[in-house]
């Protein structure tokens, strides 16, 4: 799987947009970008994923650059409950690479403050 | 729709003992993956079961094993527990197809004394 690089921590004021960057410069053309988050001592929660196009759901938006070497997860109106570790994962697309496996890095600790 | 459930949620064992953890996937999901999370190593993949067969395996010793039943429920077993096995054990379920999203349970926290 392609490696990802994320800042170790970020701060965000409540009500403001949180923009979490992820670098995945070695991503292959058919590899997806997934985002999960983990609130302290809970199981990771799926947020969103994408391949090339920008994606939006009820939780967040995912912006992937045209060259696919980086992406940004956007939480449009951060709340205190969004405080968590956010993981950006590039998931192998080839079926013989164990396509059910998620390889987690260290993620970004997002602290949302009042 | 009920989420992934794991039992027990907390467990204390002593070195040398064995432990069995259980995971019930989301209804309709046929794939169950297990992960170990420790402060030092982070989240690491243990193994994945699909239709009662182990399909993928991470880099863990043979003391870690698992199985899946016909109703897709899965168990993992750790024999001869070591202090370093203290961790949060997470399972995740999916339909099991190509790039299917995995959904995680709340985890079982194991403490080995």
- Give the largest Cα separation in chain A, rounded: 47
In 3D space, the residue among A15, A2, A10 whose CA is nearest the CA of residue A80 turns out to be A15
What secondary structure, in 3-state letters, does B72-108 show?
A: CCEEEEECCCCHHHCEEEEEEEECCCCCCCCEECCCE
Average pLDDT in chain B: 95
Share of chain A above pLDDT 90, in %: 75
SS3 label, residue A66: coil
Contact A72, A86 (CB under 8 A): no
Residue numbers in A near B88 (CB within 8 A): 41
Share of chain A above pLDDT 70, in %: 91
**What would the mean pLDDT of A63-87 be, rounded to a whole number?**
97
- pLDDT tens sequence across B3-39: 999 999 999 999 999 999 999 999 999 999 999 999 9
Contact A42 B103 (CB under 8 A): no
Buried b (16+ CB within 10 A) or exposed e, B15-49: eeeebebebbbbeebbbbbbbbbeeeebbbbbbbb
- pLDDT tens sequence across B32-83: 999 999 998 999 999 999 999 998 899 999 999 999 999 999 999 999 999 9
Under 8 Å CB-to-CB from A31, ≥6 apart: which residues?
A1, A2, A90, A91, A92, A93
pLDDT at residue A2 in the model = 61
Shortest Cα distance from B45 to chain A (angstroms)? Answer: 7
B108 interface with A at CB cutoff 8 Å: no
**What would the mean pLDDT of B80-95 be, rounded to a whole number?**
96
- pLDDT value at A95 more than 70: no
The pLDDT confidence band at residue A101, using thresholds 50, 70 and 90, is confident
- pLDDT value at B85 more than 60: yes
- pLDDT tens sequence across A12-49: 999 999 999 999 999 888 889 999 999 988 999 999 99
pLDDT at residue A29 in the model = 81
- pLDDT tens sequence across A41-59: 899 999 999 999 899 999 9
Closest by Cβ to B94, choosing from A45, A87, A100: A100
Rg (CA), chain A: 14
Contact A92, A98 (CB under 8 A): yes
A50 interface with B at CB cutoff 8 Å: no
In 3D space, the residue among B7, B23, B9, B1 whose CA is nearest the CA of residue B93 turns out to be B23
In this structure, the strands spanning B10-13 and B108-112 are: parallel
């Amino acid at each position: 799987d392609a490696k990802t690089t994320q800042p170790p921590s970020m701060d965000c004021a409540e009500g403001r947009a949180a923009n979490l960057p992820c670098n995945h410069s070695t991503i292959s053309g058919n590899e997806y970008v997934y985002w999960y988050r983990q609130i302290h001592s809970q199981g990771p929660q799926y947020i969103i994923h994408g391949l090339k196009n920008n994606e939006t759901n009820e939780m967040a938006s995912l912006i992937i650059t045209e060259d696919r070497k980086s992406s940004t997860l956007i939480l449009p109106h951060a709340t205190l409950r969004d405080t968590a570790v956010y993981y950006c994962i590039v998931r192998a697309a080839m079926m013989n690479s164990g396509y059910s496996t998620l390889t987690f890095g260290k993620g970004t600790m997002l602290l949302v403050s009042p | 729709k009920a989420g992934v459930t794991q039992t027990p949620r907390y467990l204390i064992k002593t070195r040398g003992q064995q432990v069995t953890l259980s995971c019930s996937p989301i209804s309709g999901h046929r794939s169950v993956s297990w992960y170990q999370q420790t402060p030092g190593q982070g989240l690491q993949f243990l193994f994945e079961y699909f239709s009662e067969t182990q399909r993928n395996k991470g880099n863990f010793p043979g003391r870690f094993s698992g199985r899946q039943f016909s109703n897709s429920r899965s168990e993992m077993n750790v024999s001869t527990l070591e202090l370093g096995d203290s961790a949060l054990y997470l399972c995740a379920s999916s339909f099991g197809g190509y790039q299917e999203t995995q959904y995680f349970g709340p985890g079982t926290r194991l403490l080995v004394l």
